[in-house]
Amino acid sequence: MRSFQEHLGELDRRGIRVLAISVDSADINAAHANKMHYTFPLLSDANAATIRRYNVLHPGAGPHKEDIARPAEFLIDKGGIVRWRNLTENLAVRARPDEVLAAFDAAIDGTTSSP
């Protein structure tokens, strides 16, 4: 998420709004955002309703075997249509801002882009 913060200006200029969603509480997310100096929203989905809706629940993968969200990035247009997604089972693997920007450009051009 740090790399998205570092590229927030470029993403914002393209109309891409960054936000993160986790099963952590709003208090934990706020503390983490403050510690990391994130200026984009870190949203709490404590009951994992949205996480389940986007099929990114990672059952039992938390440090205490709790359910967490698996790493995923989505580009969702203003109409709510998912235009691109990056899903992984590896907690250390995430899309980079340049991948998201390339996918955004491809979606605008009408081509398909998928990692």
What would the CATH number be for the domain defined by 2-109?
A: 3.40.30.10
Report residue 84 as tokens. Answer: 């691109």
Domain limits, the chain: 2-109
pTM across the whole model: 0.79
CA separation, residue 114 to residues 41, 71, 85, 98 (Å): 25, 15, 7, 13
Task: Convert the pLDDT of each residue in 40-76 to its tens digit.
Answer: 999 999 999 999 999 999 899 888 998 888 889 999 9
